[in-house]
Amino acid sequence: MEKQGIKPHVAVLPSVGMGHLIPLLELGKRLALHHGFRVTLLLITTNTPPSAAQHQLLCSPDIPSDLHILKLPPVDVDQVTSHDMLIMTRLCVITEHSLIGSLKSVLVALGGLGQTRALVTDFFSTQAFDICNELSIPAYLFCTTCIAFSAFALYLPKLDSDVVEGEFIDLPEPIEVPGCSPVRTEDLLGQVRNRKSDEYKWFYFHVSRMPLASGILVNSWEELEPVSLKAIKENPYFKHIPTPPVYPVGPLIKQQETLSRVDVECLEWLDKQPPDSVLFVALGSGGTLSLEQQNELAMGLELSQQRFIWVVRHPTDVTASGTFFVDSVDMDDPRGYLPEGFLSRTQGVGLVVPSWGSQVAILGHPSTGGFLSHCGWNSSLESIAHGVPIITWPLYAEQRMNATMLVDDIGVALKLEKGAGGQEIARVVRMVMEGEQGQVIRNRAKQLKQSAAKAVDIMNGSSHHSLSFVSNLWKTTYI
């Protein structure tokens, strides 16, 4: 029992990376502001300084007084990782060392303030389930991806056991996830393309533990993904696993950002442009292009003759996730790595921003009419929630699966085929910004903008009701 006047307590645990931190922080805010909880966000840290973007996010003035950020003891990255580790292996190793080293003692200490009613964590922190089980704390999973990807993840152990030899990408037909749209083998995330790799072993470890959760919160809403949601809730396969109760609570997206001087200049420039006339080009907190890709994109933007804002980074031919573990705020002069003369030829039509821009503010501006995106789920939700159609440029993780779904199932995007050159990029950009097909997906995006706002409305939203149901469960059942 809580002491009189003390609110019930919930802990929230994101794994490493802005894509995990942003939605779980937003979940914590909602629990504190609308559902009567004290919330502790447990932050995994390392011996390297946090990125400027993370620091800005965690210092935001809109963090409520009942949400407290508690940094877990730092992990020495040099001691537990090696330079040849790929992104997911690195993420999972850091997370495991952090949780095994400190989570139990931290939760015990938090319990001294009043019983912790639940811990909510994401895909890559499922070691927390075992610790919560020891302490009799219900552990919930928060899926930072779409419902369709969650269904694929729940199906993966069955797929793994059925495919005795070989790789999933060599299967002759798309993967039939029960009750869901088929997954094309070419859209499979990199982590499941080699079943002998450490990346696959870590991914399999975590998704195979999804049924251990007391419930699954998904960052989506009923109207956005009705088919996948129905499958997870009703299809006999998922019932047989058994799948924990699934609660759509999204879209949980960043509501506001602290604006830098560069951001203010961007918005002032947008103020001077016609409505729906500017293409926003940004590839996420971790995304980087090769030099060839960057040159082709520059050519495509120039040939399209459309207005644009491009958040550009120093290219790298090593990896498409080059800034995932590196602070992307690199203010190098883009003239050093963009095609010669590009900036002068596009002056007045385009605006180039080095490294980082306020995505929420730009997508929310009435002059923004399209978004060339890597299709990370946070960015996809932000674009839909602001009614902005998408051009897909997936880079890594589950982004190819998201891109196909945004085009084929949700109908808010047009796809750029892998390796598209400047001419093709220009054609697709013009199609989205000026063509009939672009108007169709723009209308669909604006329709879903209203749907997204309705879902999280605190008076009658389906996602708000869903989170209220879970909140009441935590308050009344786990005492």
Please tell me the predicted confidence (pLDDT) of residue 479: 55
Bridge-based pairing of strands 246-248 and 67-71 is unpaired
On whether both 217 and 279 belong to a single domain, the answer is no
One domain, residues 269 and 342: yes
CATH number at 361 reads 3.40.50.2000
Task: Choose, from 9, 20, 386, 464, the residue flagged as catalytic.
Answer: 20
Range of the structural domain that residue 317 is part of: 262-454
53 within some domain: yes
In a domain, residue 289? The reply is: yes
Query: Residue 257: its pLDDT value, please?
Result: 81
Indicate whether 233 and 160 sit together in one domain: yes
254 located within any domain: no
In whole angstroms, give the CA distance from residue 181 to residue 148: 8
Q: Could you tell me if 354 and 379 lie in one domain?
A: yes
Q: Which of 9, 35, 97, 122 is catalytic?
A: 122
Classify strands 350-354 and 307-312 as parallel, antiparallel or unpaired.
Answer: parallel
Q: Based on the domain organization, do 122 and 196 belong to the same domain?
A: yes
Pair (445, 304) in one structural domain: yes
| CA pair distance 411, 181, nearest whole angstrom | 14
* pLDDT of 195: 95
User: Do 177 and 240 fall into the same domain?
Assistant: yes
- Active-site residue 122, yes or no? yes
Bridge partners for 398 per DSSP? none
| Catalytic residue status for 198 | no
**pLDDT value at position 452?**
98
pLDDT at 418: 79
Is residue 326 in a domain?
Answer: yes
- Residue 102 class from Cβ within 10 Å (0-12 exposed, 13-18 middle, 19+ buried)? middle
- Which pLDDT value is given to residue 326? 45
Whether residue 409 contacts residue 191, with contact meaning beta carbons closer than 8 Å, is answered with no
**Alpha-carbon distance values, 186 to 145, 177, 336, 377 (Å):** 19, 15, 34, 19
Residues 77 and 130 in one domain: yes
Structural domains of the chain, count: 2
The answer to whether 246 and 229 are in contact (CB under 8 A) is yes
Does one domain contain both 41 and 112?
A: yes
Q: Do both 186 and 313 map to the same domain? A: no
Low-confidence residues in the chain, pLDDT < 70: 1-5, 112-114, 286, 318-332, 478-479
Do residues 39 and 115 share a domain? yes
**3 assigned to some structural domain:** no
Q: Is residue 92 part of a domain?
A: yes
Predicted local distance difference test score (pLDDT) of residue 334: 80
In a shared domain, residues 432 and 305: yes
**Is residue 19 in some structural domain?**
yes
Q: Is residue 1 part of a domain?
A: no
Q: What is the pTM of this model?
A: 0.94
